[in-house]
Amino acid sequence: MKIAGSSPIARYAERKERNPKVAVFDYFADKKEEPRHGDQVENIIRRTSGLPDSKIQNYQNAYQRETSTEDVFESSAARFRDTLRSFTIESVTGFFDATEQNLQTIVSNEKSKVRVINQSQSQAPARIARPFVEKALTDEDFRMKMKDAFDLPERAHKTTVAEAILNEVDHIFDSSRYIATSRNRYLETAKKAYDKGIAHVVTAGNLGRLATFYDQIGLDVPEDAYRSVLANDFTTIVGATASQGTTTTRDDKAASFTSVNAGAEFSMHGVNVEVIDEDPHKPHFSNGTSFSAPQTTALIHELFEVNPKLSVDEMEDILYKSTLPVKGTKEQVGAGQIDPERAVYLAEQSRFVDVAILV
């Protein structure tokens, strides 16, 4: 499905593998832009799971908009809200549609062996509003235009202007029939994948520091502004934790960047994760929930290998029973940090004992 102004880009990002077991939905840029985000994610899955490249299928998951960020910045006060609405709708429907189309490719293939999908991508109201809120906070001319656009008093504080933009984007998320149609189509296909026993691992996003900044300046943010649009009953949302460099996990804590209220169910280490660089022989480390999610994906693949009869619900139950407490709120880290060894042990036991009674 194509929404006016939004063009999903959903296709194989490499040659079609014969019998892949894991899929990666991500952004795979031109070779000249290496290292590509999707390649880094795939590298973590391969290194963590031991799977060869032939067992991981990469899918281009992107979209094109007719309305650009610059279009929103440059629109007049009279046209600003309409332009922001177009930008928001195109961003969300494009994201939903690309994800749905790639999901459909997998679920419609009766011979597919894919049991786990990794999607280290996120979308949320605060993420879309971020550049416009930042400009409203720092650019007086833009701020004055926003006061006219939202019919605010000339003396309105900059945080009031920023809140107006955030609330507007959040309202568009909730009220747009285009977004609703796109979301429903995605959810229908997501349920098909779930019913087939396919786990869909999604990153929580990296808006944690932004949330902290907004709190510090007293900005009143809508409750669901950081929630991932892919947080639902058919996905597994993963946040990030940070090791403190000790031999124990007892002092591990939520990574400062991991999004709050994004729907995180579990967490894995996401700080100083080794990823590929332009030079494959040169160690390179990065931070992000983009890199905690693929570690979870690799673990889930192993759980399904240990017990192929596990449903997605049973797999998640095992993860819940394998979490360790860390410093951080449930809104940041979900149930806690996953202990991979414990999870594999419980998966082994589940071959003989019902998952519900495992302890």
The CATH number assigned to the domain holding 169 equals 3.40.50.200
Please indicate, yes or no, if residue 107 is contained in any of the structural domains: yes
d(CA 339, CA 296): 10
**Cα–Cα nearest to 225, from 259, 175, 254, 184:** 259
Q: Quickly state the pLDDT bin for 244 (edges 50, 70, 90).
A: confident
Nearest to 244 by CA among 254, 236, 256, 252: 252
End-to-end CA gap in the chain: 45
Residue 36 has pLDDT above 90, yes or no: no
Tell me the backbone φ, ψ of residue 332, rounded to 5 degrees. Answer: -95, -45
Confidence of residue 149 (pLDDT cuts 50, 70, 90): very high
**Is residue 104 a contact partner of residue 25, using CB atoms and an 8 Å limit?**
no
pTM: 0.95
* pLDDT of the residue at 34: 62
Q: Considering only residues 275 and 338, tell me which one the structure prediction assigns the higher pLDDT.
A: 338
Question: What secondary structure does DSSP assign to 339-351, as a single string?
Answer: -HHHHHHHHHHTT
Looking at residue 175, its pLDDT comes to 97
Burial of 70 from C-beta contacts in 10 A (0-12 / 13-18 / 19+): exposed
| CB-based contact 267:241 (threshold 8 Å) | yes
Question: What is the three-class DSSP state of 11?
Answer: strand
Q: What is the pLDDT of residue 275?
A: 86
Residues 241, 242, 245, 248: what is their CA dihedral angle, to the nearest 10 degrees?
-20
Kindly tell me if the per-residue pLDDT of 357 is higher than 70. yes
- From 152-156, 214-218, 242-246, the region with the lowest mean pLDDT: 242-246
The boundaries of the domain holding residue 293 are 6-357
User: How many beta carbons lie within 10 A of that of residue 247, not counting itself?
Assistant: 6
- Sign of the torsion angle spanned by Cα atoms 336, 341, 346, 350: positive
Average pLDDT in the chain: 94
Lowest mean pLDDT segment, chosen from 51-55, 205-209, 283-287? 283-287
User: Looking at residues 262-287, what average pLDDT do you find?
Assistant: 85
Residue 32 — pLDDT band, cuts 50, 70, 90?
low
User: How many independent structural domains does the chain possess?
Assistant: 1
Asked whether residue 131 is assigned to any structural domain, the reply reads: yes
Q: Is 143 helix (H, G, I), strand (E, B) or coil?
A: helix
Q: Express each pLDDT in 68-126 by its tens digit.
A: 999 999 999 999 999 999 999 999 999 999 999 999 999 999 999 999 999 999 999 99
Asked if 202 and 235 count as a contact pair (C-beta separation under 8 A), the reply is yes
Judge whether 1 lies within some domain: no
For residue 103, the model assigns a pLDDT of 98
- Please tell me the distance from the alpha carbon of residue 256 to that of residue 268, in angstroms, as a whole number: 13
Using CA atoms, how far apart are residues 64 and 50, in angstroms rounded to an integer?
34
Q: What is the pLDDT of residue 359?
A: 82
Q: What percentage of the chain has pLDDT greater than the value 90? A: 89
Q: What is the pLDDT of residues 159-193, one digit of tens each?
A: 999 999 999 999 999 999 999 999 999 999 999 99
Tell me whether residue 93 is in a domain. Answer: yes
Separation of alpha carbons 354 and 120, rounded Å: 31
* pLDDT range class, residue 1, cuts 50, 70, 90: very low
